[in-house]
Amino acid sequence: MDSFDRRVTEAAELIRDSQYLCAFTGAGISTESGIPDFRSPGGIWNRYRIVTYQEFLSSREARMEYWRMKYELFRDLKDARPNKAHLALAELERMGLLKSLITQNIDGLHQEAGNSPEIVIELHGTNRKAICISCERTWPIEEIHSILEDTGFDPKCEHCGGLIKPATVSFGQPMPQEEMGRAIEAAHRSDVLLMIGSSLQVEPAASIPRLAYHSGARLIFINRTETPYDHMAKILFRESASEVMERIVEILKSE
Ligand code: NAD
């Protein structure tokens, strides 16, 4: 057995024998769907300057800039489809193995792949909705885009007059309390955590795998490049997320 076969077999065994499997995903799981990750040079994310949450709140110009950026990104990403790694996670849920799926991604591809909304925790929000930052009412993002196109103004909430913002978490914006609480609880409960495609450089999201480790979980990392927490991983893959995940599910189904 070569090293790859040995590691996928070991990972499949850990997953099969787990009581509470938690997955933690980042931008790297979606690169094979054609969505560039955050740190690749020349990626779409570098085309724009960062508009902080404070700027969004205080300046109409910054709000319009933010909406323009989000609109362009949404247009670029809306045709992306789940890849084999997303589909494998959906299969792990159907097999009764995956109990919780914490993601930093905003692309909605886990739900599109078939993971149920009840187990998906979106730590950084979603680009598919807009939210009123006062009353937290939500709209499909396309509805707000078309108001912007028709009027050229950033819309206010028709119910409370609050500012409407894409439902993603901006730099400087507090983390969503409920999602963070659920993620912490899942990390505590997990006995195996499967980390896929994150540089683990964005805090506090990156604290989730650490927390699982310190609560006694065994970690499987699938990430092309180094992370600061590779020493915590029991099994480490540098291969592509879809290649590894497809193989793990094949082994589990053949048993
Ligand atoms: P990141 O860009 O910092 O790191 C991605 C990691 O994935 C890298 O270490 C890279 O080596 C690895 N990787 C890339 N393709 C891979 C593949 N096919 N197989 C295995 N590994 C692969 O991403 P992050 O840690 O998620 O942090 C970026 C932030 O930006 C997140 O907060 C996220 O919300 C946001 N973001 C989201 C998306 C999305 O929704 N798809 C895309 C870009 C950025």
CATH number at residue 8: 3.40.50.1220
Give me the pLDDT at residue 43, please.
62
My answer on whether 154 and 191 are in the same domain is no
Distance 26 CA to ligand 1 centre (A): 5
CA angle 118, 123, 124 (to 5 degrees): 125
My answer on whether 106 and 143 are in the same domain is no
My answer on whether 140 and 23 are in the same domain is no
Q: Tens of pLDDT along 80-113?
A: 999 999 999 999 999 999 999 999 999 999 999 9
What sections of the chain are H helices per DSSP? 3-16, 53-58, 60-77, 84-94, 109-113, 141-151, 177-189, 207-214, 241-254
My answer on whether 14 and 74 are in the same domain is no
Range of the domain at 22: 1-34+82-124+175-255
Give me the pLDDT at residue 167, please.
96
pLDDT band, very low/low/confident/very high, at 152 (cuts 50, 70, 90): confident
My answer on whether 113 and 211 are in the same domain is yes
Residues facing 195 on adjacent strands: 24, 221
pTM for the structure as a whole: 0.95
My answer on whether 196 and 245 are in the same domain is yes
Would you call 126 exposed, middle or buried from its count of C-beta atoms within 10 A (0-12, 13-18, 19+)? buried
Residue owning the nearest CA to atom 2 of ligand 1? 38
Check: CB of residue 217 under 8 Å from CB of residue 19. Answer: no
Q: Tens of pLDDT along 117-133?
A: 999 999 999 999 999 99
* Residue 90 Cβ contacting ligand 1 at under 6 Å: no
My answer on whether 26 and 91 are in the same domain is yes
* Residue 26 Cβ contacting ligand 1 at under 6 Å: yes
My answer on whether 92 and 65 are in the same domain is no
Q: Tens of pLDDT along 194-224?
A: 999 999 999 999 999 999 999 999 999 999 9
Measured from the Cα of 205, ligand 1's closest atom is 32
Mean pLDDT of the 32-49 span:
77
My answer on whether 107 and 41 are in the same domain is no
Pocket probe for ligand 1: among 37, 141, 175, the residue whose CB has the most ligand atoms within 8 Å is 37
Query: Above pLDDT 90, what percent of the chain?
Result: 83
Q: Among 135, 168, 201, where does a domain finish?
A: 168
Residue owning the nearest CA to atom 30 of ligand 1? 38
pLDDT band, very low/low/confident/very high, at 73 (cuts 50, 70, 90): confident
- For residue 159, indicate whether it is catalytic: no
Check: CB of residue 130 under 8 Å from CB of residue 166. Answer: yes
Closest by CA position to 66, among listed 10, 117, 6, 130: 130
CA 198 distance to own-chain centroid: 9
Q: Among 134, 152, 168, where does a domain finish?
A: 168
Give me the pLDDT at residue 21, please.
98
Give me the pLDDT at residue 72, please.
84
What are the residues whose beta carbons fall under 8 Å from the beta carbon of 244, sequence distance 6 or more?
8, 11, 85, 222, 237
Both tokens of residue 110? 């886990």
Q: CA-CA distance, 152 to 208, in Å (whole number)? A: 40
What is the tally of structural domains in the chain?
2
pLDDT value at 45 more than 80 = no
- Across 14-23, 44-53, 75-84, least confident range: 44-53
